[in-house]
Each structure stands twice: as structure tokens, then as C-alpha cells.
Chain A
Amino acid sequence: MCGIVGFLDKSGNRQAAVGQTLLDMLSALDRRGPDSSGVAVYADRGADACVLRVKLGEHGPFETLADLVVERVKSLVSVSAVDVQGPSLRLVATPPENPESLERAIEAVGSSIEVVSLGSRLELVKQVGSPANLEATYAVSSYVGTHGIGHTRMSTESRVDLSHSQPFWAHGRADVAVVHNGHITNYHKMRRIYEQQGHRFYTGNDSEIIGLYLADRMAQGVSFADALQTSLADFDGAFSYLAATADSLGYVKDPFAFKPLVVTDTPAYVAIATEEQALRSALGDDFPVWEPGVNTVMTWTIENGAGS
């Protein structure tokens, strides 16, 4: 049992209060998952900028490690801003030619180091604890942008730490992130196949494989919407998940309809959540909601707001 939420502004406002909306929705669902929480918010971050979020470790002190990582990144791309928030090091840099090789170079600095997110529009923060704690550490309510996704987790099969928290960035693919409620029951089988192909796994959380799958499909030239669609046949289990790219938001509802999800699609925005309470407490009473049917996928983009 977890809570997942998503929001996309359709009005063309590039500075919608996405962080506040996601936080309000997550707070209404936090009893579904007290273990950890996180959000991914998409916004314009300046031309030719790339935001990197690096986890330095589970326990401090982090100053020395932060310095080493910054030094390494500066040797590869030019860095315009550095900020350390708890275990999370945030860097704004010029976009790397190859995100994957930059990621490898950073992670070679120390065994506790993990690139949590990378993207030109993506800002991803997560940690152990409630949405209220997330707000206390990262001031999520101040994040503005076009769209975003959020997660509050109740762990069932893997450990509780920052790495195992969600959203998951799709390692190696800039700006793609995922939040998931449910179980991918053919996870171990698919993981073995990916590992044989040389993909690295950072956690024992089955949700991690969704981002990897989407990144892999999109690297093969498959569109975001089509990658979501094929995941319905390629994953087994009871799952509802939301995924986002630099300009899109989409949901996937499993073939058994075991995991709840409600959607509202208004002229001003689209909002999706595990329970209707999240939509009502964040956005009010004046819109209808519906539950997606089994085996369905829908995506929206910020350019025209149209769903398909």
C-alpha cells in the first residue's frame, strides 16, 4: 500500500504551484505510507542547464564527500550552482554529452554515492519520513513548474532508506521519473535479464525496474506513450504507476484492477491520485473523478494539454 499522485497544468502557466499541490495531495494520503515520501517537479531551469541530485550517503558527515563530488563534476562539465541539503547534493551544470558516463564518473567517487536524478527540467527530492518532513527539509511547497509526480511509501519487501524511496529517476535517461503503487511480480526475472545486459540496479525495490524499462524502451526509439503501453504486457502483477518526462505525464493501470487510481481531467489541469481524498483536499469539490479501466494507459503533454 502506497500513495501516488500526479499533476499537470494545462493553462500554459510555466510557474504553476506544482510543489504545493503535490504536497497537499501527499499529505492527504500519508497514512497510506508513513515510511518515506518524495516528489519530482518539472520546471524551466534556464537554457543549457542540467540539474543533478546526488545522494552522498545514509549517514553524515557529508562535507568531504560533497567536495569530492563537486570537484569530479567540475572536471567534466561546467558547474553554476552547488547546494547541500542533508544527504542530497544539488548541482546545476551544463548538460553532459553522455548522462550515463557522467553518472558513472560521479558514482566512482565513493560507494555510498548515487545519482538520484538528472535532467534539464526535473527536480527530484525524497527521503525517509512523512510529506511534512519532506517539506521541512526541502521546502517543496515553493517549487513551481508545469507538472510533477509524488509518492508516499509503505514498504513491503525492501528496505526503508533514501535510495529505496520514490519517485525513481530512470537512470541514464534525463528527466524520466516514475512513482508506483503495487508489485511487479516478474521483477527478479526481468532484473536478471537487464543485469546480463550490464544495467546496474541500485536497490532491491521492484519499482526501480519500471524506470529502467521505460528508459530502455525509449532508448530503442519507442515513444513514451508506447513504452507505457507495452509495459502492461511485459510486467506481471498488480500495479498502478505514474510516469513523467520533461513535457508529459501518464498513468498505467494493471490488467487486474487491484490497485486504486482516480483521475480528473479538467480544462485547467489533470490530476491523478491513489485516493479521491487527495484530489478533494488539494483541489476542491468542483470536478468529477473517474477510475481508469483495467489495462489502460493515458498520457498528457504540457504543450497542448490534450490527453491521449
Chain B
Amino acid sequence: MKDIDCTDKTSRVINQEIRHYIQAGETEIHVHHPQARHNLGVAVLQPVSLTMTGSVGYYCGGLIDGPRIEVQGSCGWGLAESMLSGTVIVNQNAGNSAAASIRGGTIVVRGSASSRAGIAMKGGTLIVQGNSGYMTGFMMQKGTIIVCGDTAEALGDSMYEGRIFVGGRISDLGNDAVVEEVTDRDRAFLTTILAEYDIEAPASFQKIVSGRRLWQFDKKDFDTWREAL
């Protein structure tokens, strides 16, 4: 196990140290006093374990393929943006656009997520143990979002594909987002994946998917299009 102290270091230097230890064969690295610096742990392509013992800033774990990153504090905008695979766990709250454009892997936010969580997801899973903000799942194309708490306005706005499960109250649905019946298979999936991360499952879930009306332009839907764009 290796420790990195961020005090008086830039994000670039910290990321170089992380890379240096991985090259040397280290599989467990603890990063101390990150103090919400941006871009920590980006583009790590090996199955190592990175622990941030405080809060991180924007784009933590962006472009990763394989590692397990745990953030013991909160995180800023664009958590794990475009990750391919791996696991990212944030113990407190997440900023805007958590899991933006991810293609695979799993992200767990143990607190609440802010606006546009899961924006443009292309695969993978985002689990939010608390509440989730405005436009959660905006334009998502694939993958799964699970919110155990409540969701704010415009849930699943303009989503193409994928599915969103909400355990709490839905404030309102976005354009072309529709409620679908939860199947037994969905319930089994939710029970298994939440247990895996020690999250107590809510009593029941609602499932939101794309209504697919915006897949083709129809002039009857003009008002919806104007709103959506």
C-alpha cells in the first residue's frame, strides 16, 4: 500500500505519482488531503484500488478502465466521465453530471447526486442512495440508473434508451419519459445489485424508460421537440 499526500501538489503531479506507483506494480494507493482538487485519478487503465481520503473536485476518475476508486468525501462535477469499466464509490454527495457518458462499470453515490446525473450514459450502472437532481438521465442512451430516494424535475428528459428505477417520489417526468411496469426480473436485479453495495432497498421501485416518440420527427410532436431542444 502506498500513500500520496496532496499538500502543495498540483493535480498533474499527483496523477503522475499514481501512475508511477501503478507502473511499479502497486495495487493499492491512498490519496490524502485531496481538498477537492480537479481531475484526480483520471485515465487509470489498470485494476488497482485508489482511495481518496477526502473530497475531490471535477472529473475524478474520468476516462478510467478497470480500477476501483473510493472517495471518502464528496465529489464535484463530471464524476468518472466516460469511464469504460471499473467501480467508483462516493461516500457523500456528488456534483452535477455524475456518470456523464459512461460506457460501462458501476458508480455508487452514497449521498445525493446533483443535476443531470447519468447524462448521456451509454452503458454501465449509476446507483444513488439518496436523492437525485434536475434532469437525471438526460439524453441517456443505454445502461441503468437506480435512485433510492426522490428525483427532481424532468426525470429522464429526452432519453433514447436505458432504464431508470426510482425508489422515492418522482417530482415530474421529462419529455418522452414514460413509466413502465417493474418485472420480477427487474426486482431480482435490484435486490442483488443493492445488496452487493450494502444498500437497503426501498419498499418498491418505479421504472422509467423512453417513450421513443422522439426517435423520429413527427410534426404532431412539434411542441415536445421545441421543449426538448
Contact = CB atoms under 8 A, between A and B. Distances in A.
B95 A291 contact: yes
B55 A280 contact: yes
Contacts of B116: 257
Interface stretch (A101-109, A110-118, A281-289): A281-289
Contact of A288 (B77, B93, B96): B93
Interface in B21-54: 33, 35-38, 54
B152 interface: yes
Given A260-B77, A275-B58, A293-B115, 6 more contacts: A257-B134, A260-B95, A276-B55, A276-B74, A285-B54, A291-B95
B76 interface: yes
B76 A275 contact: yes
A275 B111 CA distance: 18
A260 B93 contact: no
Contacts of A279: 36
B172 interface: no
A257 B36 contact: no
B133 interface: yes
In the A-B complex, the 9 residue pairs with the closest CB atoms: A276-B36, A257-B115, A291-B114, A280-B35, A277-B36, A294-B134, A280-B36, A290-B93, A285-B54
B202 interface: no
A232 to B, nearest CB: 13
A282 to B, nearest CB: 10
Contacts, number: 68
A205 B73 CA distance: 37
Given A276-B55, A285-B35, A291 B153 contact: no
B224 interface: no
Interface residues of A, number: 16
A260 B73 CA distance: 18
Contacts of B54: 280, 285
Interface in A232-277: 257, 260, 262, 275-277
Contacts of B206: none
A294 B73 contact: no
B96 A257 contact: yes
* Chain B interface, DSSP helix/strand/loop, else mixed: loop
B101 interface: no
Contact of B35 (A260, A277, A291, A293): A277
Interface of A: 257, 260, 262, 275-277, 279-281, 285, 288-291, 293-294
Nearest to B57: A277
A276 B35 CA distance: 8
B15 interface: no
A281 B115 CA distance: 25
B154 to A, nearest CB: 9
B141 interface: no
Interface string B84-124: 00000000110110000000000000011011100000000
B134 to A, nearest CB: 4
A275 B114 contact: no
Contacts of A262: 76, 95
B96 A260 contact: yes
21 contacts: A257-B96, A257-B134, A260-B76, A262-B76, A262-B95, A276-B57, A277-B35, A277-B37, A279-B36, A280-B36, A280-B54, A281-B35, A285-B33, A285-B73, A289-B74, A291-B95, A293-B133, A293-B134, A293-B152, A294-B133, A294-B153
Interface string B51-67: 00011011000000000
Contacts of A275: 36, 57-58, 76
A281 B6 CA distance: 12
B92 to A, nearest CB: 5
Contacts of A281: 35
